[in-house]
Structure 1
């Protein structure tokens, strides 16, 4: 079994000398009482601008991974049935997926029934990660209950406002009482930067506050591999937030023409990340086609970026034809999850999209189905 480093970028803004030494991580897995037909697993993670991928066969419920690792990292492991001609079949099922923190050393994973029903041993990082998420789930469950309550059409305006105020308070309490408290009480935890990321929230103001918190950390934490990766992720998120100018890039069309995103300036453009092997993407494509056909004469277009791989180029071309996507520009570098544009935009799942205005500013994100249609109708009917 061989670990594949799909791509790497130079550390442009941080000192190279702070990088640590890699150590061996060995993962052994046991999938008991399997509910389903599976024969293969993929493990992948992104760190410091690089994406790593490894695979293992599932034989009699047993599997294993072994590779070098520099520091604790969150990985995703997917179990599925390999079906010829259908790469990625079954990957979207959450029961078939694990998100766990691994670290150098020996780890054991035991799943029962469903692959996602897992017990992890040998990783202090995952223990802390699990503890944090368990604390957060108490608040998240209450928020979900209030959101469901808020959908009750019989509620008065005052009751709806009160409900929203409770939700905002719970979200603030979650941030401060779980992640803020953890940061204060566990300054040397391997989950410090994960907690900081969760504390940051999604607004520019929140992220800038956390960036200031990062700058005040001791130098050994800031310059650690985790600290460097955290700062780069945060800077990247700030660059692609709503209100930011969409980073430019250029990739090739199926016929080999190099086309840049900036070539769409002057129009509203949906930057759409998808792939021929992605079931949810293919289901969303009719909505994108509908939006394009309705608003193309009002200054709207689509710029499609496929996360297909070199071996799947024919599938990509066929999907463009089958789904009616050839009316707009389609590009890819055929590097699968290491598509350089996807990495630049922090894409960790597809479909994912960004709505960009004629000046190149991001004005929307992950607009799907009717939401995409209504947003375009509101903007372009002016």
Structure 2
């Protein structure tokens, strides 16, 4: 008993240290009270977390632990409904996407989170400087476009030329940011935002890995070896490890019941590894065709393995049920940080890989009739 007590006494201080928050975000938005709530989704390296706070006379506070620089989404809902603010406001929700570090941060605004002033965060200031050099984020561009549409007069609302002009402006800003991000990474090899610029170039702008990889290799060693850096490295080399004819990389994630499922479990069958998400409209639009193909060939040695890049389990399960998906479904619920997505070099969903009974990749990115034709050739 004395030995056990001694061990507890020794480790107790370290447990206390591990639980000490290393960031604090304190804010005040007007004089809002319940049901108004502030939400924060953030991840630092492999951990993703969600927290919320009810506003009391406009005040709220978040504390937590992060391993490095956090990527986050903050949402203010005056009705206390996070998802409605994010998805149900046609791009006009009170939502911001920000980076922060192990800091004590203050947020203040008289009316909204979107217009709030941030103080006490060196990382946030570096993010602003980065955006000033490369141009506004995609979220900001679309938010401003939606504000313009919302303010348009009745004549403009009916004018297709008005919308075409607005769309051209949006696309011009996107192209400009995409080009400037590569230049930023080249000129700032020691900046965390150089790494973020390269990640965004691949995932958000479809820049080819052979263009990004030389820039990645010139980043500082700590950036390259960081969790984010290694994730990007896997993504950049995904086209090599998923080339036609190579052995499909194995991976293991949990199914809807929490049971571990591996790609290797399906060896001996033709397997379509289908990357998708509940929030992805093109993915969901492909579901009826997949259902038809699955019904036709599942008894002939064909299987589908759905890999979701969702982070919200409830929404994932809801989409499976609503679309009537009957094949195995797995996810690590890390959202876009899904480990299998990084290994396979996926920069967008839907995406898929067709694997033969020997475990080799024999097709990729097969949608609609292209998939149907390939399966008909193999199965018939």
Q: Which segments of structure 1 move beyond 6 Å, counting only runs of 4 or more? A: 33-36, 138-141, 315-318
**Aligned residues: CA RMSD:** 4.8
* Cα separation, 2, equivalents of 1:103 and 1:344: 27
Q: In structure 1, the residue corresponding to 2:231 is in which secondary structure?
A: helix
Any unmatched runs of 5+ in structure 2?
A: 1-19, 146-170
Deviation at residue 205 of structure 1 after TM alignment? 0.6
For residue 376 of structure 1, the aligned residue among 371, 374, 379 is 371
In the other structure, the counterpart of 2:209 is 204
In the alignment, structure 1 residue 67 sits paired with structure 2 residue 64:
yes
**Across the two proteins, how many residue pairs are aligned to each other?**
306
In the alignment, structure 1 residue 269 sits paired with structure 2 residue 267:
no
Aligned counterparts, 1:304-343, within 5 A: 304-305=306-307, 307=310, 320-326=320-326, 328-332=327-331, 336-337=333-334, 342-343=338-339
Q: In structure 2, the residue corresponding to 1:41 is in which secondary structure?
A: strand
In the other structure, the counterpart of 1:182 is 184
- Decide whether aligned partners of structure 1 residues 342 and 264 sit closer, same or farther in structure 2, where only a CA change above 3 A counts: farther
* Cα separation, 2, equivalents of 1:356 and 1:72: 33
Deviations 1:84-121 (A, max 9, x none): xxx95654355243211112222122356554344322
- Decide whether aligned partners of structure 1 residues 97 and 344 sit closer, same or farther in structure 2, where only a CA change above 3 A counts: farther
* Cα separation, 2, equivalents of 1:223 and 1:271: 34
- Matched-pair contact (CA < 8 Å) for 2:26–2:61: yes
* Cα separation, 2, equivalents of 1:235 and 1:268: 26
Which structure is richer in relative contact order (CA contacts within 8 A, separation 6 or more)?
A: 1
* Cα separation, 2, equivalents of 1:88 and 1:175: 29
* Cα separation, 1, equivalents of 2:209 and 2:267: 26
Q: Which of structures 1 and 2 has the bigger CA Rg?
A: 2
- Decide whether aligned partners of structure 1 residues 241 and 108 sit closer, same or farther in structure 2, where only a CA change above 3 A counts: farther
| Structure in which a larger fraction of residues adopt helix | 2
Aligned counterparts, 1:202-351, within 5 A: 202-214=207-219, 221-223=220-222, 227-241=225-239, 244=242, 247-253=249-255, 258-262=260-264, 263=266, 267=270, 269-274=272-277, 280=279, 287-296=285-294, 297=296, 302-305=304-307, 307=310, 320-326=320-326, 328-332=327-331, 336-337=333-334, 342-346=338-342
- Matched-pair contact (CA < 8 Å) for 1:72–1:101: yes
In the alignment, structure 1 residue 131 sits paired with structure 2 residue 129:
yes
- Matched-pair contact (CA < 8 Å) for 2:186–2:215: no
In the other structure, the counterpart of 1:9 is none
In the other structure, the counterpart of 2:168 is none
Q: Report the TM-score when normalising by structure 1.
A: 0.60
- Decide whether aligned partners of structure 1 residues 112 and 273 sit closer, same or farther in structure 2, where only a CA change above 3 A counts: farther
- Matched-pair contact (CA < 8 Å) for 2:34–2:54: no
Deviation at residue 130 of structure 1 after TM alignment? 2.2
- Decide whether aligned partners of structure 1 residues 233 and 120 sit closer, same or farther in structure 2, where only a CA change above 3 A counts: same
Q: Report the TM-score when normalising by structure 2.
A: 0.61
